[in-house]
A and B are shown apart, each in its own frame.
Chain A
Amino acid sequence: MAKVIEQVRYACALGALHSVLAIDRAVPILHAGPGCGQRLSTALSLTNGYQGTGYAGGHSMPCTNSTETEVVFGGEKKLKELITQSLRVMDADLYVVLTGCTSDIVGDDVLEVARSFQKKGHPVVCAQTGGFSGNNFHGHELILDAIIDQYLKPTDERVPGLVNVFSVVPFYDAFWSGNLQAIQKLLTALGLKPNVIFGPAGGVTALNHVPKAQFNLLLSPWVGLNNVKSLEDKFGTPYLHYPILPIGPTETSKFLRTVGEFAGLASEQVETAIKELEKPYDYYIERSADYLLQARAGLPSRFITISDSFYGLGISKFLVNDLGFLPGTQFVMDNIPQRHQSAVKAEFANLSDTIAAPVVFTNDSGVVKETLRETKFKGRPLILGSGWDQVLAKELNGYQLSVTFPVSNRFILNSSYVGYDGALRLAEDVFSVLVNSSY
């Protein structure tokens, strides 16, 4: 398999500056080249659902804009000065220093620089996120670990029912804020107190609550596993790892039962909640069932996901178990570390009791294109991927919907694909593509 990449579907570790921007009243400070901040904003925020800069994103992020001088003589002094001034100029409760390739190759001791501020009581943390060291999933974990290690304080207090929620990666998932809100609603319906750090409902206040939680919930195939383990080490908080993003009634109900059991909730309480939550879903599906069936003639023959494992698994489970679609090859594009691949593969092998999907792990669209060009479709395929797939979908005479990075042909605000409501939203979007296309 080629090691080079055609059509880039994730960003570098420094891209995790967006995980900082997703925390209300936290500001990233970049120790990086002059172009990194803009490039990553364009990638993860602008051309990915046109999410925008928010409080202090885009060109307002403090940055050393490292050039020749810092490369030759080191940039620690410049960084120190920048942090000092950022504390005066930028209004925030938490400052997260992130490095780019230049600083990491040169070998600046940035952690020491950050420590000098921490010693003086400033809320400054630091992570080395040079782009060559990994992708934005890795960066997201690094940022969270930096906050856990350098900012959070141990406590004896435990709040029963308080659950820290870790799931989709902010900004990289164009639907992240809607999705996190949806997860929050689901957990609240069970009677739990979800603590969501990222997005409008969270922020530095939510961060401060993290050590008091009863447990951590990781709702993700693999991203974030290191963080819940760190939290377990540091605060002794147990975690529940649920690897499938729950979309649709089958998976969402299963998810809620698993959470209920882990949280020690009475099963009647969980079942009552599920019944309530399912109602609107059932109403709309019943109402639209005639169309969903009559559209058969134009229905896709097979669905293909070209996506990260969050959506790849979540969408496949929904389309197979709840809408009766059949899967074609599923391309998993988030460069999953080897050790996590078999678990993801096993889930695809077991989409339902009778249905499995072939999986290809790659990060190179060249592989996707070659595979799909050789595939004979009986009818039109449905391609759930990113803005990169529009031309390919046309070539294959397929339907195309962008759900994963880069979502360059859609404008996204608070839409979500998670849960029962999210499944309705996904059905709306998929069938709108069908309705809108001539077949």
Chain B
Amino acid sequence: MTINLKATEAKVRENRLSSITAYKGSVKDMVQKAGGCGLKGGERCFTQTTSCSLGCAQGQLVMIQDAAVVGHSAIGCGSDTIQSNINKRRGHFSREWELTDINYINTNMTEEATVFGGKAKLREGVREAYRRFNPKAIFVTTSCVSGIIGEDVSGILSELEQEIPVPLVPVHCEGFRSRLWASGFDAAFHAILSYIVKPAEKKRPELVNIINFAGIGRAQVTRLLNRIGLVPQFIVQFTTLDQLSRLSEAAATLSFCGTLGSYLATGLEEHFGVPYIKSLQPHGIAGTDSWLRELGRVLGKEDEVEALIAEEKAAIAQELAELQTKLNGKRVVIGMGPSFAQNYTRLLDELGMDVVWTASWHFDQRHDYGEVPAAAQDLSEWDKDIPVSVSELQIFEIINLLRELKPDVYVCRHPGMAIWAAKLGIPAIFVSDEYQSFGYQGIISFGSRIADALANPTFVRYLASKIKLPYTNWWLEQDAFKYLDEAAPSSKVRSKEVI
């Protein structure tokens, strides 16, 4: 077993999945070295601001309908929580639910707390959260401040157990502990797995857990799975604690994103006997084929799945062919989290486009079940070898890369990244909804979106003609990866053999 639910916290990805944040080379090389444990993360002596675990952890937990979150931090760490309220609003709208606010309280740690500890504030935060929101569980997220001063959050919560009759759950997601913000997903899911999920009293063979984000486009999944007699349950956002406690009842778990789902899905498999469908992710044709086929294989529904796939593919064949003609040979650079980056490489290739570079914000050398991520493995088996890089949102590298490669389009996902391609006059597609290219219909709508962006690039062209980039001419003339040096001595040689 790789996931230890007795531990107070999930190990960070650097230590658990040998995840790296610096690499330049090709997908074949990267995957081969990952398989052989030969890939060492590099360092840069110039870096731009990235992202941290707290955001990923909190973003999941505040979306649980009847839970509350207490952020034990200084005020800045809670300053962006309105973003979750906006997401919640959108989620409620799509579900036709009454509008409600997130249940979040910040303990507002100040100088005093850094000297004397924040115990009193944390106790007050938990009590107030209970009084104000009447939640069925309270999650307490830690922060850089609580972590560095060594606050015993678990201990403080244990003391409150007598007084407050709902689970009080510590979530260890201090930003400074990991360079991989995705470690925050694991922190949240560790908390859910170890405090909320209960062993199944009865199994529900028709129920399938779908790990996703806001799930705005979930009707599409429901439609497909219903046709093979299955019922999807979308997690973790917008669920209730009761629902989460019964995740173990499901027949299988699927994930929309390998990066997001690795810990939770593997935990459910190892500790609650719910198989994790370790397939490609369902973006585009091969991805959806693989997602459904693997599900069919595990649940013994191969025939139904094959019939469904054939029918769905036939329905889009003509439109797909038209799109392929339109997009044929268009050069594209991708900049996304690892799972999306790898899956979108395949998807864009299916649209007939030429993926000239795939940048991912980190790379998990293995997922929690012990294998190289399926989507990366798949790419490494192609005839063509895709040039790839790994960087934690380092725009200064991306800028030089884009200037050099001059692609027709840049496809990205992390907020705040699209603008930099646009400033170079390159149409940028921002994929915010995880369902953007789900399934067979999804490749059509996403392909059309790209075709539309290419059809009228006036906005980005105007922008590029007017703006000055915030970089010196010196930098703009350097190799994009000048600052990337691989840390381990044995890897020095490798860094030279890159394409």
Q: Is B177 an interface residue (CB 8 A)?
A: yes
On whether A3 and B470 interact (CB within 8 A), knowing A85-B45, A131-B75, A366-B128, the answer reads no
A46 surroundings in chain B (CB, below 8 A):
83, 415-416
Contact residue among A40, A53, A92, A394 (Cβ-Cβ distance under 8 Å from B80):
A40
Complex formed: what's the CA distance from A211 to B46 in Å? 34
Closest to B72 in A: A4
A77 to chain B, nearest CB (A): 10
Contact A35 B47 (CB under 8 A): no
Contact residue among A53, A62, A67, A131 (Cβ-Cβ distance under 8 Å from B176):
A67
Q: Is A156 an interface residue (CB 8 A)?
A: no
On whether A30 and B470 interact (CB within 8 A), knowing A5-B106, A10-B79, A39-B76, the answer reads no
On whether A8 and B395 interact (CB within 8 A), knowing A15-B76, A55-B470, A89-B472, the answer reads no
**A to B CB contacts below 8 Å, 15 in the list:** A5-B105, A7-B104, A8-B81, A8-B82, A33-B175, A35-B77, A39-B54, A44-B79, A82-B46, A89-B474, A91-B470, A101-B74, A131-B73, A387-B85, A406-B82
B51 surroundings in chain A (CB, below 8 A):
34-35, 38
Binding stretch for chain A, among B108-116, B343-351, B376-384, B436-444? B108-116
Interface residues of A in 1-44 (CB under 8 A from B): 2-8, 10-15, 27, 30, 32-44
A230 surroundings in chain B (CB, below 8 A):
none
Q: Is A177 an interface residue (CB 8 A)?
A: no
Binding stretch for chain A, among B23-31, B143-151, B199-207? B143-151
Contact B179 A12 (CB under 8 A): no
B169 to chain A, nearest CB (A): 18
Complex formed: what's the CA distance from A76 to B73 in Å? 24
A268 surroundings in chain B (CB, below 8 A):
none
Interface residues of A in 97-128 (CB under 8 A from B): 100-102, 105-106
Contact A408 B50 (CB under 8 A): no
B107 surroundings in chain A (CB, below 8 A):
4-5
A385 to chain B, nearest CB (A): 12
B439 to chain A, nearest CB (A): 30
Closest to A30 in B: B49
Interface residues of A in 45-104 (CB under 8 A from B): 46-47, 52-53, 55-56, 58-68, 70-71, 81-82, 85-86, 88-92, 100-102
Known: A13-B76, A136-B76, A391-B100. 14 other contacts (CB 8 A): A5-B108, A6-B106, A10-B79, A14-B76, A36-B52, A38-B51, A38-B416, A46-B416, A47-B83, A59-B416, A67-B178, A67-B179, A82-B47, A388-B82
Contact B85 A388 (CB under 8 A): yes
B448 to chain A, nearest CB (A): 26
A: residues with CB less than 8 A from B are: 2-8, 10-15, 27, 30, 32-44, 46-47, 52-53, 55-56, 58-68, 70-71, 81-82, 85-86, 88-92, 100-102, 105-106, 130-136, 363, 366, 386-388, 390-391, 394, 406, 408
Contact A38 B55 (CB under 8 A): yes
Complex formed: what's the CA distance from A136 to B76 in Å? 9
Contact residue among B52, B128, B419 (Cβ-Cβ distance under 8 Å from A34):
B52
B475 to chain A, nearest CB (A): 4
Complex formed: what's the CA distance from A2 to B471 in Å? 46
Contact residue among A34, A60, A71, A363 (Cβ-Cβ distance under 8 Å from B396):
A60
B463 to chain A, nearest CB (A): 12
B80 surroundings in chain A (CB, below 8 A):
39-40, 42-43, 47
Contact residue among B101, B145, B393 (Cβ-Cβ distance under 8 Å from A132):
B145
B contact residues, total (Cβ < 8 Å) = 73
Interface residues of B in 451-484 (CB under 8 A from A): 468-475, 483
Complex formed: what's the CA distance from A33 to B184 in Å? 14
Contact A4 B124 (CB under 8 A): yes
Q: Is B132 an interface residue (CB 8 A)?
A: yes
Q: Is B316 an interface residue (CB 8 A)?
A: no
Q: Is B53 an interface residue (CB 8 A)?
A: yes
Complex formed: what's the CA distance from A194 to B46 in Å? 38
Contact A131 B77 (CB under 8 A): yes
Q: Is B121 an interface residue (CB 8 A)?
A: yes
Contact residue among A55, A88, A100 (Cβ-Cβ distance under 8 Å from B474):
A88
B404 to chain A, nearest CB (A): 16
Contact B417 A59 (CB under 8 A): yes
Contact B74 A85 (CB under 8 A): no
Contact residue among B177, B419, B475 (Cβ-Cβ distance under 8 Å from A67):
B177
A366 surroundings in chain B (CB, below 8 A):
128, 132
On whether A71 and B124 interact (CB within 8 A), knowing A39-B76, A131-B76, the answer reads no
Contact B45 A11 (CB under 8 A): no
Contact A4 B176 (CB under 8 A): no
B256 to chain A, nearest CB (A): 22
Contact B74 A56 (CB under 8 A): no
Contact A63 B105 (CB under 8 A): no
Contact B106 A65 (CB under 8 A): no
Complex formed: what's the CA distance from A141 to B70 in Å? 29
Contact B50 A59 (CB under 8 A): yes
Contact B74 A65 (CB under 8 A): no
